[in-house]
Amino acid sequence: MAVNVESVPAIGLAPPARWRRTRESFAVVFRSRVAMIGLAIVLFWIFVAIFAPLLTSYTPFEQDSTAFNGPPSPRHWLGTDNLGRDIWARMAYGGRIILVLAPAAVLCSLAIGVTLGLTAGYFGGWVDEIVMRILDAMMAFPTILLYLIILAAVGPSAVNIVIAITIAGAPGVARLARSLTLDIRTREYIAAAKLRGEHPLYIMFVEILPNARGPILVDAMLRVGYAVFAIGTLGFLGLGLPPPSPDWGSMVNKGRQFILSGSPWASLFPSLAISSLVVGLNLFADGLQEESTRY
């Protein structure tokens, strides 16, 4: 009996849809030169933070009594601060702090903001009014003022910095998630899910959220950059991690006192680290957004 080969499914030949979508997502990154430049900058700082013990022979707290405010040299690549601590070592180890706190704060704000936005957009009515009015009241405060109020009340620490950035960032995420939900909930597949008797939580997190993930992920990448800048700002204002932690913001604050005395490197290099990481994250997000809208 002749068998039509075309009618036989190619078992094991075609990749699963999940892997195909993952490959397409990576292809979007490789198509954008802007995204690749931003990704290279971010990966550089991730590499430095992970392999800090291999990239410097000093610890962030080790003092060299013969090199106070020393200039860059073969012994100290980026110079030393007023206590004789190696600036490159402090920047490398400080990268671990900022690359953990910033994504953690954004993930927390995403979890809260997306949940609130999906709830307000899906149910509408009085639920939408209550949720959005509370979030609007929070957004009425200037962001930096909200940081200062929270940290002044609970004290500076790693956990409290994450909480402050989460509280300040969640309303913006919620507004984005709500606007996307208001559009997606009118689609036919949402009506079909309701006719099937699906639970609202299933519709929100299985039907709506996956179809809104693109703009949310791009916004999240931008928010990581904002969080990096916020952590640096709080450290500069003395509300970051307490000394002698190698916080980039506090390094800039301490080093600025010696700029006019001819030792600008203690403030210059941490400032460049903060700005380069923020620029890299923004370039990566902009490249993703540009390619996503193009295709």
Domains of the chain: 96-295 (1.10.3720.10)
Please compute the mean of the pLDDT values over residues 136-141 and round it to a whole number: 87
Query: For the chain, how long is the longest CA-to-CA vector?
Result: 93
pLDDT at residue 166 is higher than 90:
yes
- Rounded CA-CA distance 75/95 in Å is 21
State the pLDDT confidence band at 21, using cuts at 50, 70 and 90.
low
Residue 148 confidence (pLDDT): 86
Say which residue the tokens 């929100």 belong to: 204
pLDDT at residue 185 is higher than 50:
yes
Residue 1 confidence (pLDDT): 44
Judging by beta carbons within 10 Å of its beta carbon (0-12, 13-18, 19+), is residue 108 exposed, middle or buried? middle
Please compute the mean of the pLDDT values over residues 115-129 and round it to a whole number: 92
Judging by beta carbons within 10 Å of its beta carbon (0-12, 13-18, 19+), is residue 221 exposed, middle or buried? buried
Residue 176 confidence (pLDDT): 94
Residue 67 confidence (pLDDT): 81
Question: How far is the CA of 184 from the CAs of 73, 217, 231, in angstroms?
Answer: 58, 17, 35
Residues 231-250: pLDDT tens digits? 999 989 888 888 888 889 99
Residue 35 confidence (pLDDT): 85
Among 12-16, 182-186, 283-287, the minimum mean pLDDT is found in: 12-16
CB atoms within 10 A of CB 290: 15
pLDDT at residue 89 is higher than 80:
yes
Residue 8 confidence (pLDDT): 43
pLDDT at residue 15 is higher than 70:
no
Residue 24 confidence (pLDDT): 60
DSSP 8-state secondary structure symbol assigned to residue 3: -
Residue 3 confidence (pLDDT): 45
Please compute the mean of the pLDDT values over residues 171-196 and round it to a whole number: 92
Q: Mean pLDDT score of the chain, rounded to an integer? A: 85
Please compute the mean of the pLDDT values over residues 19-35 and round it to a whole number: 67
Among 21-25, 83-87, 93-97, 177-181, the minimum mean pLDDT is found in: 21-25
Residue 14 confidence (pLDDT): 42
Residue 9 confidence (pLDDT): 45
> Residue 155 region, left (φ>0) first, then alpha (ψ -120 to 50), else beta?
left
Say which residue the tokens 């100290």 belong to: 76
Among 21-25, 150-154, 226-230, 235-239, the minimum mean pLDDT is found in: 21-25
State the pLDDT confidence band at 278, using cuts at 50, 70 and 90.
very high
